[in-house]
Structures are given as C-alpha cells and as structure tokens.
C-alpha cells in the first residue's frame, strides 16, 4: 500500500517502553504509518502542528495536561484528527469525560492487537470505536447517573440544604442554628435523605455530595 494511502497515526504516552511497543506493533500493519510520538500533551500539540495524522492515540495519565484535557485541545485545534484514548483507566467517569472532550474511541491498555487495529481503521473511516468492556462501563455509568438524578429529584429544597451543610462538616446543632430549626428536625431530615438516597452512613453521604457536585473536598 502506498504511503499516501496509509492511515497516519501519532502516539502520546509518557512511558517510552509502551510507546516503543505500540510503534513496533502498529508498524507491522501494511496500512498504518506512525508519523510521530510524544511523551506529554505539550510535545503532542507541537507534533500535530507540524503534521496532523488521521488518528491520534492518547493516554490519559501524562505529565502536565491529562489526556482528557489534551483531547479537548486537540479537537479544537486539529479537528481533522480523530482521538483514540488508550488507557489503564476504565472507570465510567474517565470514559464519559473523554467522550465529552471529543474522543472518538476508547480502549483499555490490555486490548488485543486485533481490536486496536480495528479501532484505528474504524476511526480512519470517520466512525467511532469503543471496546465491549468500555461500552458496558459507559452504560452502567449512565444508568447509575439516571438513578442518582431520580434520587436527587426526590429531595426537597430543605433536604438539599441539609445534605450540603452536613457534607461540609457541620454538626446537627450548627445546622439547626443556621437554618433556625431544632436539632431534632435536622436529624429527621438527615434520616429522610439517607433513606431516599439509599445511604448507610455519614461517610457515604459526604461521598455522594462530592460525587454529585454539592461540595468540593
């Protein structure tokens, strides 16, 4: 296959051994050409400013900007390349954040060579590609988010106030003083919150509040 017909690919990963292995793996494919590599987002942006590949493979955990932040910048500055995230992170929040940043594909690092090359070719045709495990994780995350949304909608405005104050570290007495209600009423509200959100402890309540953006640690 002639050079101008090949799928050009750039690789960004902070581990040299992994980059070398990936280059060796992909260079063996007759229709794929590695055009450059980078150890971080800054190097990657400089690389893309010289030559924009068809597909850019990006790791999430890199020095400086994360792969997700880099993806957002790449999509904005170089819209003609398709970003494929190749990462050890498989939690729903990483995958969903990557998709929202503009990634067209997401694969775990333990993926097979066959699926990796299949993903690259899919992106080169203008498509998307997510491994089966990633797709299942996204669905689970979305289902959990819908459940969280429904639970949050069931809270009254007063219960949301109690949730925020409690997760911020205030005692029942302090909340009672601030809201001009009795400590016993605060306790009743907290019990209702725990029941509605299926929480079993104050620690779970704090984690829930942080996860849903009510408070920041």
Contact (Cβ atoms closer than 8 angstroms) between residue 149 and residue 80: no
Domain 154-211 falls in which CATH fold? Arc Repressor Mutant, subunit A (1.10.10)
| Maximum pairwise Cα distance, the chain | 78
Specify whether domain 3-131 bears CATH 3.40.50.2300: yes
Q: Using one digit for the tens of pLDDT, what is the confidence trace for 114-129?
A: 999 999 999 999 988 9
Q: Using one digit for the tens of pLDDT, what is the confidence trace for 43-100?
A: 999 999 999 999 999 999 999 899 999 999 999 999 999 999 999 998 878 888 898 8
pTM of model > 0.85:
no
Beta strand spans in the chain (E): 7-12, 32-38, 55-58, 82-87, 105-108, 129-130
**Angle, helices 157-167/172-179, rounded to nearest 10 degrees:** 130
Ordered by start, the domain boundaries in the chain are: 3-131, 154-211
């Amino acid at each position: 296959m002639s050079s101008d017909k090949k799928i050009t690919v750039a690789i960004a990963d902070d581990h040299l051994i992994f980059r070398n292995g990936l280059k060796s793996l992909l260079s063996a494919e007759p229709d794929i050409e590695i055009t450059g590599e980078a150890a971080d987002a800054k190097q990657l942006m400089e690389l893309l400013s010289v030559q924009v590949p068809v597909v850019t493979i990006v790791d999430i955990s890199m020095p400086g900007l994360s792969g997700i932040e880099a993806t957002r910048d790449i999509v904005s500055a170089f819209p003609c390349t398709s970003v494929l995230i190749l990462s050890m992170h498989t939690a729903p929040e990483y995958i969903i954040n990557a998709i929202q940043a503009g990634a067209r594909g997401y694969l775990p690092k333990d993926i097979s060579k066959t699926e990796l090359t299949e993903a690259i070719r899919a992106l080169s045709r203008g498509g998307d590609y997510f491994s089966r495990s990633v797709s299942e994780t996204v669905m689970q995350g979305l289902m959990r988010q819908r459940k969280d949304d429904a639970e949050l909608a069931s809270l009254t405005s007063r219960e949301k106030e109690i949730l925020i104050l409690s997760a911020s570290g205030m005692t029942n007495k302090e909340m009672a003083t601030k809201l001009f209600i009795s400590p016993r009423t605060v306790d009743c509200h907290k019990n209702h919150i725990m029941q509605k959100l299926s929480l079993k402890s104050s620690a779970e309540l704090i984690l829930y509040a942080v996860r849903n953006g009510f408070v920041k640690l």
